[in-house]
């Protein structure tokens, strides 16, 4: 913390050049030690706005951080100030968070940029893959399918081992539709092993039930998506093909490509995965 006497001394000793002033060590001491995040509420209705005061009150209570959190509205964004990095990480990586029908997209930032310039383009969410046959309820199969939905955060390994649930936690990118509205999608693992599945995004509200987007562009709803067929057999890495389920590490090494479903209008190939759009 910089007191008034130190500030006057530092200002007197400051070095100015080309319109910039350097305060040296005193400047570093003046930077806040708090941890910041930016949030933005998502709506498919462009003219629909949430009440900032009600939103901030609700989220402060929901997160249970008390005086360890302060927040304020800055245009269409919300700036959150946390007392420690653990609270910020738990909040940004938790969720998804909602205020009514609005989903909240959050991102960490250093508190120095313009909040409007911070990219709030994704949020974490659990997705259940419904319809996998027993032989494909494996970490490898769930990870392969999950990598087509978004960046993988976690697998529900316990549910997969027991064969009771095929769940994957991903970061859903806002430029991609929520696949829950898609017609059944087919995934080919080998010439003999395939699955036609649907997706359920857990605790997710606020997306368009027609096109699957969390936000509509100015042109409005893009209409219902086509069914998709994905073949993993085209993957150039032989360790990801065949009867043996690949390890999660192998899948993640192959899943650095963007969401395979983004803007697929015709048969294409991306990072070795063959993706086709089929008539609904």
Domain annotation covers residue 15: no
Verify that 142 and 258 share a domain, yes or no.
yes
> Which residues are within 8 A (CB) of 276 and not within 5 positions of it... i.e. 6 or more apart?
228, 229, 230, 266, 267
* Residue span of the structural domain in which 51 resides: 32-117
Domain finish residue from 72, 94, 117: 117
Verify that 212 and 139 share a domain, yes or no.
yes
Verify that 170 and 81 share a domain, yes or no.
no
> Which residues are within 8 A (CB) of 114 and not within 5 positions of it... i.e. 6 or more apart?
none
Domain annotation covers residue 62: yes
Query: Token match 């693992």: residue?
Result: 189
Q: What is the dihedral of CA 214, 153, 94, 55, to 10 degrees?
A: -20
Domain annotation covers residue 219: yes
**pLDDT tens for each residue of 217-241:** 766 787 888 877 888 865 434 333 3
Query: Which structure tokens are listed for 38?
Result: 């930016």
What total number of domains does the chain contain?
Answer: 2
Verify that 230 and 269 share a domain, yes or no.
yes
**pLDDT tens for each residue of 151-186:** 999 999 999 999 999 999 999 999 999 999 999 999
Domain finish residue from 71, 101, 117: 117
Reported in sequence order, the residue ranges of 43-183 that DSSP labels E, i.e. its strands, are 69-74, 77-82, 97-99, 102-109, 122-130, 151-155, 167-173
Q: What is the dihedral of CA 270, 272, 273, 279, to 10 degrees?
A: 60
Query: Token match 């959190």: residue?
Result: 69
Which of 177 and 276 is assigned the larger pLDDT?
Answer: 177
Verify that 274 and 141 share a domain, yes or no.
yes
| Cα 218 to chain centroid, rounded | 22
**pLDDT tens for each residue of 35-54:** 999 999 998 776 667 788 88
Domain annotation covers residue 5: no
Domain finish residue from 86, 117, 148: 117
Domain annotation covers residue 154: yes
pTM score, whole prediction: 0.75
């Amino acid at each position: 913390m910089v007191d008034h006497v130190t500030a006057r001394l530092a200002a007197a000793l400051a070095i100015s050049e080309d319109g910039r002033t350097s305060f040296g060590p005193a400047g570093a001491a003046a930077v806040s030690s708090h941890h910041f995040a930016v949030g933005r509420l998502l709506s498919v209705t462009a003219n629909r706005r949430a009440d900032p005061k009600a939103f901030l009150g609700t989220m402060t209570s929901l997160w249970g951080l008390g005086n360890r959190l302060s927040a304020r509205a800055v245009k269409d964004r919300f700036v959150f100030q946390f007392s420690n990095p653990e609270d910020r990480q738990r909040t940004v990586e938790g969720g998804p968070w909602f205020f009514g029908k609005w989903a909240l997209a959050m991102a960490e930032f250093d508190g120095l940029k313009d909040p409007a310039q911070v990219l709030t383009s994704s949020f974490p969410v659990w997705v259940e893959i419904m319809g996998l046959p027993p032989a494909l309820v494996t970490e490898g199969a769930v990870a392969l399918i999950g990598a087509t939905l978004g960046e993988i955060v976690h697998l529900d390994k316990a549910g997969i081992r027991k064969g009771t649930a095929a769940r994957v936690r991903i970061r859903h990118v806002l430029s991609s539709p929520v696949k829950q509205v898609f017609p059944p999608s087919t995934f080919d693992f080998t010439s003999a092993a395939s699955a036609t599945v649907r997706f359920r995004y857990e605790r997710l509200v606020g997306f368009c039930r027609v096109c699957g987007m969390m936000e509509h562009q100015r042109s409005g709803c893009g209409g219902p998506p086509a069914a998709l067929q994905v073949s993993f057999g085209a993957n150039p890495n032989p360790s990801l093909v065949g009867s043996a389920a690949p390890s999660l590490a192998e899948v993640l090494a192959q899943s650095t490509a963007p969401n395979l479903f983004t803007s697929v209008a015709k048969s294409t190939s991306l990072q070795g995965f063959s993706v086709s759009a089929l008539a609904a």
